[in-house]
Amino acid sequence: MQSPREALEFLENSLRSLDADTLASMAESLAQQAHEAAALHPDRPEFSRLEERFLDIAVRHAESGREFARQARLLSEIAAMPGNEPLSPARHLESARAWVKAGRIDHAREQLRRAEESAAALNDTQTRVQADVEKAILQLNAEEDVVEGVSRTKPVGDEARRLGCNRAYLDLATAECRALIWAGHLTRAEARVMDALEHAPADSEPRRALLAMRARVWSKQGQPEAALGLAKSAVDDDDPAGEPLEALGQVYADYGLHTRARVEWDRATDVYHRQADRFGKARVSYLQAKLRVLEARWGEAEGPLSMAESEFRTLGHTTCLTHAKLLRAEMLFGLGEREKADQQLSQLLNSRAVQSSLALSCSAYEIAGDILRWSRRFELALFEYRRSRDAGASAGMPREQARGALNCAHMHLALNEPALSETQAMLALGLVKRSFGEGLIEFVEAKLALARVHLKRGNVADARKWTVEALEAGDELDLLEDTHTLRTRTLISDLKAMEARVASAEKKHGKDA
């Protein structure tokens, strides 16, 4: 058995003489040796100090290797070391964050509880409040009813602000804003953003994140030009954060500029990967999948959608997971797997997450309408499309409202109600043009719907007018640059078919004359 002096010399020599890589790889083992020596020689505090130093090296090594579960475990060991009480709250907090990166949310909650308790015992207000805020964020993520969830987390943020813990307050406010936006409660989200911005330092990362949130709200509300300017201003040219890049991509997507959206999302993904931000990466992966579904590239959506769905489930993000599940139902329907799509949707329609969220209910009703429309149950489909349109209107989301109105127009025409079809198509056209200009595929589709209405009525001249306008608008679409997508090919095919039908009607009309 080594004497205390020999053991101490060995450990100190290892610390001094080993190269950095070797020391890092051996640090946990050396910490264990120091721990055992400390137990055998309680009168020699040097062993405990060496144990902590080796554990610190092991923590950094685990983090650099993205071994976050190991990092979290080591941090909790440091926090529990005798005599380490003053540092215990901060170590528990760091451990909780590492457990989140490892996707072990229950373990993270336990470490946050310990951080909160140990900080309270030491009157460490900053760490106690930060732990309380991060615990509240995890709880908010799990809520089905986001508005109700925010009502529970807001007092936590108010306390943080009252006690001068400004960064903790801003962290929670950002999470609340994001959750409200994903749930489609845009007015509440903007009010929360405006309140938080009053306390966000100029040119700080929290302020840029909040400005990005506000840009996202404006974009969804049909103010893309203002949103684009704000989103660009939120991006730090020297060191861009993920949230503003993600928001900028979303604004471009809302504007119909899909290629630019993907560029910004790729940049955001790189940032999130460097930061080991799994939730950020999952959000972008979902947005990439959603864009593919919008373009009817159903098969290409599976990869990013599966990744997002898995991560949302692991990380405990209920609203985001429900979005992903609804997108899967839409993807399955597009792939022709209608029965699976119906089953997927049936599990979600009456869930609290869908019923409490304007954004989720808008999507769910639209997919329900699509399934009923395919089975030629037009009246029932119309009912669901109306609900989708009205949910979009209630949320203040003109593009979603326009899409609902456009679907209603198709159903009215199928039910031989051309006047009602025209009303809904004109509503869709007005909403899109007023809010987004002429760069969206819905703008072309609305004009095409009006051409169909007039052709059905026998108004050949008006049918020609709307067809020509649809063709001209289609030429301006960014989406049409991607001619391999099914939705683009379908739109081009529909435009050509309508042009042929109008030409045939004109020819027949000329003969009759």
Interval 53-99: pLDDT, tens? 999 999 999 999 999 999 999 999 999 998 888 999 999 999 999 99
Mean confidence (pLDDT) of the chain = 92
Task: Give 150: exposed, middle or buried? Use CB within 10 Å, 0-12, 13-18, 19+.
Answer: buried
Joined together, the tokens standing for residue 447 give 């004009």
For residues 314-339, average pLDDT: 96
State the pLDDT confidence band at 446, using cuts at 50, 70 and 90. very high
Checking if the pLDDT of 445 tops 70, the result is: yes
Question: Pick the residue with more confidence: 202 or 480?
Answer: 202
Q: 79 with 92: CB under 8 angstroms?
A: yes
The reported pLDDT for the residue numbered 509 is 66
Task: Give 30: exposed, middle or buried? Use CB within 10 Å, 0-12, 13-18, 19+.
Answer: buried
Residues 6+ apart with CB under 8 A from 153: 136, 137, 139, 140, 172, 175, 176
Checking if the pLDDT of 7 tops 90, the result is: no
Checking if the pLDDT of 44 tops 90, the result is: no
Tell me the torsion sign for CA atoms 434, 439, 445, 451: positive
Task: Give 470: exposed, middle or buried? Use CB within 10 Å, 0-12, 13-18, 19+.
Answer: buried
- pLDDT tens digits along 367-389: 999 999 999 999 999 999 999 99
Mean pLDDT check: name the lowest of 166-180, 187-201, 341-355, 470-484: 470-484
Q: 331 with 301: CB under 8 angstroms?
A: yes
The reported pLDDT for the residue numbered 327 is 97
Residues 6+ apart with CB under 8 A from 13: none
109-114: which pairs have CB atoms within 8 A and are 24 or more residues apart? 109/135, 109/138, 111/72, 111/76, 112/138, 114/76, 114/79, 114/88
Give the residue among 206, 219, 202 at the shortest CA–CA distance from 176: 206
- pLDDT tens digits along 165-184: 999 999 999 999 999 999 99
Give the residue among 450, 472, 474 at the shortest CA–CA distance from 461: 450
Question: Pick the residue with more confidence: 308 or 48?
Answer: 308
For residues 494-512, average pLDDT: 73
Q: What is the dihedral of CA 354, 356, 360, 363, to 10 degrees?
A: 80
- What's the Cα-to-Cα distance from 427 to each of 401, 420, 434, rounded to whole Å? 9, 11, 11
The reported pLDDT for the residue numbered 438 is 80
Joined together, the tokens standing for residue 134 give 């991060």
Checking if the pLDDT of 483 tops 70, the result is: no
Give the residue among 223, 145, 159, 224 at the shortest CA–CA distance from 188: 145
Q: 239 with 204: CB under 8 angstroms?
A: no
Question: Pick the residue with more confidence: 117 or 296?
Answer: 117
Checking if the pLDDT of 491 tops 90, the result is: no
For residues 450-454, average pLDDT: 92
Checking if the pLDDT of 31 tops 50, the result is: yes
For residues 262-267, average pLDDT: 98
The reported pLDDT for the residue numbered 508 is 74
For residues 124-139, average pLDDT: 97
For residues 22-26, average pLDDT: 91
C-alpha 409/C-alpha 427 separation (Å) is: 9
The reported pLDDT for the residue numbered 284 is 98
Amino acid, res. 325: K
The reported pLDDT for the residue numbered 513 is 46
Checking if the pLDDT of 109 tops 70, the result is: yes
**What is the number of H-type helices and E-type strands within the chain?**
26, 0
C-alpha 50/C-alpha 75 separation (Å) is: 15
For residues 410-427, average pLDDT: 96
Number of neighbours of residue 343 by Cβ within 10 angstroms: 12
Quote the pTM value: 0.91
Checking if the pLDDT of 472 tops 90, the result is: no
